[in-house]
Chain A
Amino acid sequence: MKRLILFLLLAVAVLFTASLVIGPAGAPVGRSLSALFSDDHGPLSMVMREIRLPRALLGLMIGVSLGMAGAGMQGYLRNPLADPGLIGVSGSAALGAVLAIHTGLSAAFVLGLPLAALAGALAGVFLVMALAGPRGGSLTLILAGIAISSLASALSSLVLNLSPNPFAANEIVFWMMGSLADRSMTHVWLALPLMALGWLLLASLPRGLDALTLGEDAAEAMGVNLTRLRLKLVIGTAAAVGAATAVAGAIGFVGLVVPHILRPYVGARPGRLVWASALGGAVMVLASDITVRLILPTQDLKLGVLTALVGAPLFLHLIYKTRRAEA
């Protein structure tokens, strides 16, 4: 476990640095990094501080959020298919964000955007949890998720199509697939408070999640308050995923892939998995964001395209395994 965490921390550090030094401006690595800390490099300092740094920070923060939320949900529902993107939480958060932007709420009130995304995400999580039930049977969970994501994305498209702005309709792709291109420190500060709240709540889950592996009765006998656990999970997930989606769109599959890969290394203990997945999520989002910049440097390839290319085959594999286990 300790070795795994060290390895993941190292990977995050390396990828974070790589994210800072890779970009179309093409300045040498050393000069780029020193420009980050001193004003002597003119425009390069501005590029590093106002363009690259927020992008790398957001990649890190969003990865942590998605990884933690995925591991938390999977632990609570005891179902490896739970992922905030797949079960419609990201989609409903995107709907909240789209509504905030196009009704002018985000312009009128600083925290309007992340709070609206939080409201959307909360509605999404509540719906899914209510439909799937506390034990979260695979089939109902996925069906509820599909219904909620489709409804949320349809409503987002409707809002964007009704906008008088000619560019709005093209942004459907951004909200469905997510991107970190051209974000600024403003977005970092906008997302951070809500995300931090989400992290705190999700970080308080591990003991309860570990106890839950023994079954609900045993967990309650061990003093775990299931109602509170559930509430913390729901609000924590909604806050973390809502804030992430508000600034970067819905990035899918991170919360599915990361816990799945890391589970064997933490002895399949859901509590430890939450921590490992936080780092693993950061690794996955940072790596994907570097990759989109390397393959299509000028075209803003959406992050969700890459995570889906990795995640969807794994998802199919998991469905197949689950079906066999149930049969």
Chain B
Amino acid sequence: MPRQAARSISGFVRPSKVISLLAALVLTGAAAQADPAPRRVVSMNLCTDQLAMLLADPGQIVSLSYLSTDQRSSAMAEQAASFPRNQGQAEEIYLLNPDLVLSGRYTGVATVNMLKRLGERVEVFLPAYSLTDVRERMLQMGRALGQQDRAAALVARFDADLGVLRENVQNRPLAALYYANGYTTGDKTLAGQILLAAGFDNAAVKAGQSRGGNLPLEVLVMMQPEAVVTGAKYPGQSRSEAILDHPVIRALQKDRETGSVADSDWLCGTPYVLRAVADLVALRHRVESAE
């Protein structure tokens, strides 16, 4: 189909130089569309960074986002160290001369729009809100990179590993995810789905938060969750994180099992979420054996 289009255009343009220039642009565009495997891929988003590293040939990746080497948020910080990194600015990305730009739905919307105006091919990835989304993002990345086979293999392994982790739980213990500023996440988030997959009930849902929001400290205490999973702390001091050291949280954790959310495994829809599920399953086993 693209080849036909190209032929009809080249038949049409001869008379005018201007039109031939336009046609050349269209042609290169058409050629890029037809190219099965992009060779210069630039990723602007922490999650597409990791999906790209999992699926691309190393030579395909030109640059990753600056967050990709951040130990706290990236599950693949070490692998990412061998790639150049970008700050996600339109100018810098355009000058890298990519044939495919990977971006998240909510990363630098203005930048992405500008890149599109400049004629770059941008593949936008939605955040993963569930484990099904995780599978789909992997397949989408496979298609974008021309690595469908590798993606299918990765998804198959993901399904198998998840199958091993899933258990038939009779009495699901109640757990709360509690972050800085008293924030919690419900069932309609990836973290909430990880909690569910590990066989816990989510305290946030019981308190009426299906997505995410503030869970007042007193409400948390009154629910007496059997496990409190808190966010990992960032360096430096902050008042927002001080709530995780509140005497009440300490008391809740004292005679109960606790977990800590390693952000890198929870943030992105990659197979690494299974590590988070596995950690939580182990936590649930500890809770059950303590009873």
A interface residues with partner B (beta carbon < 8 Å): 23-25, 27, 42-44, 46-47, 50-52, 101-102, 104, 106-107, 163-168, 170-171, 174, 182, 184-186, 297-300
Q: How far is the CA of A165 from the CA of B237 in the complex (A)?
A: 7
Q: Which chain A positions have C-beta within 8 A of B224?
A: 42-43
For the complex of A and B, list the 7 residue pairs with the smallest distance between their C-beta atoms, beginning with the closest: A165-B236, A167-B240, A25-B218, A24-B216, A167-B238, A164-B236, A165-B238
Q: Are A300 and B219 in contact (CB under 8 A)?
A: no
Q: Are B235 and A164 in contact (CB under 8 A)?
A: yes
**Known A24-B216, A46-B248, A104-B237: A167·B180 in contact at CB below 8 Å:** yes
Q: Are B222 and A44 in contact (CB under 8 A)?
A: yes
Q: How far is the CA of A164 from the CA of B71 in the complex (A)?
A: 14
Q: Which residue of B is nearest A102, CB measured? A: B237
Q: Which residue of A is nearest B180, CB measured? A: A167
Contact with A along B103-116 (1 / 0, CB 8 A): 00000000000000
Q: Which chain A positions have C-beta within 8 A of B235?
A: 164-165
Q: Which chain B positions have C-beta within 8 A of A25?
A: 216, 218-219, 221-222
Q: How far is the CA of A167 from the CA of B222 in the complex (A)?
A: 27
Known: A25-B221, A102-B237. 6 other contacts (CB 8 A): A43-B224, A51-B221, A107-B237, A165-B236, A165-B237, A297-B216
Q: Are A102 and B219 in contact (CB under 8 A)?
A: no
B213 beta carbon closer than 8 Å to chain A: yes
**Known A43-B224, A51-B248: A163·B238 in contact at CB below 8 Å:** yes
Q: How far is the CA of A182 from the CA of B246 in the complex (A)?
A: 8
A27, A43, A186 interface centre (most CB from chain B within 10 Å) = A43
Q: Are B236 and A163 in contact (CB under 8 A)?
A: yes
9 contacts between A and B (CB under 8 A): A24-B218, A164-B235, A164-B236, A165-B235, A165-B236, A184-B246, A184-B248, A298-B213, A300-B214
Q: How far is the CA of A150 from the CA of B247 in the complex (A)?
A: 35
Q: How far is the CB of A266 from chain B (nearest CB, A)?
A: 38
Q: Are B251 and A46 in contact (CB under 8 A)?
A: yes
Contact with A along B45-84 (1 / 0, CB 8 A): 0000000000000000000000000000000000000000
Q: How far is the CA of A102 from the CA of B246 in the complex (A)?
A: 19
Q: Which chain B positions have C-beta within 8 A of A166?
A: 234
Q: Which residue of A is nearest B209, CB measured? A: A298
Q: Which chain B positions have C-beta within 8 A of A170?
A: 240
Q: Are A298 and B246 in contact (CB under 8 A)?
A: no
Q: How far is the CA of A252 from the CA of B216 in the complex (A)?
A: 25
Q: Which residue of B is nearest A299, CB measured? A: B214
B182 beta carbon closer than 8 Å to chain A: yes
Q: How far is the CA of A102 from the CA of B218 in the complex (A)?
A: 28
Q: Are B247 and A184 in contact (CB under 8 A)?
A: yes
Q: Which chain B positions have C-beta within 8 A of A47?
A: 218, 221-222, 248
Q: Are A186 and B236 in contact (CB under 8 A)?
A: no
Q: How far is the CB of A100 from chain B (nearest CB, A)?
A: 9
One of A171, A184, A299 near B239 (C-beta < 8 A): A171
Q: Which chain B positions have C-beta within 8 A of A42?
A: 224
Q: Are B216 and A23 in contact (CB under 8 A)?
A: yes
Q: Are B251 and A165 in contact (CB under 8 A)?
A: no
Q: Are B247 and A165 in contact (CB under 8 A)?
A: no
Q: Which chain A positions have C-beta within 8 A of B205?
A: none
Contact with A along B210-227 (1 / 0, CB 8 A): 000111111101101000
B181 beta carbon closer than 8 Å to chain A: yes
Q: Which chain B positions have C-beta within 8 A of A102?
A: 236-237
**Known A299-B214, A300-B214: A43·B221 in contact at CB below 8 Å:** yes
One of B239, B243, B247 near A101 (C-beta < 8 A): B239
Q: Are B238 and A182 in contact (CB under 8 A)?
A: no
Q: How far is the CB of A34 from chain B (nearest CB, A)?
A: 16
Q: How far is the CB of A184 from chain B (nearest CB, A)?
A: 5
Q: Which chain A positions have C-beta within 8 A of B247?
A: 50, 184-186
Q: Which chain A positions have C-beta within 8 A of B279?
A: none
**Known A184-B247, A185-B247: A168·B218 in contact at CB below 8 Å:** no
One of A51, A107, A164, A167 near B218 (C-beta < 8 A): A51
Q: Are B237 and A106 in contact (CB under 8 A)?
A: yes
Q: How far is the CA of A102 from the CA of B251 in the complex (A)?
A: 26
Q: Which chain A positions have C-beta within 8 A of B239?
A: 101, 167, 171, 174
Q: How far is the CA of A300 from the CA of B180 in the complex (A)?
A: 13
Q: Are B240 and A50 in contact (CB under 8 A)?
A: no
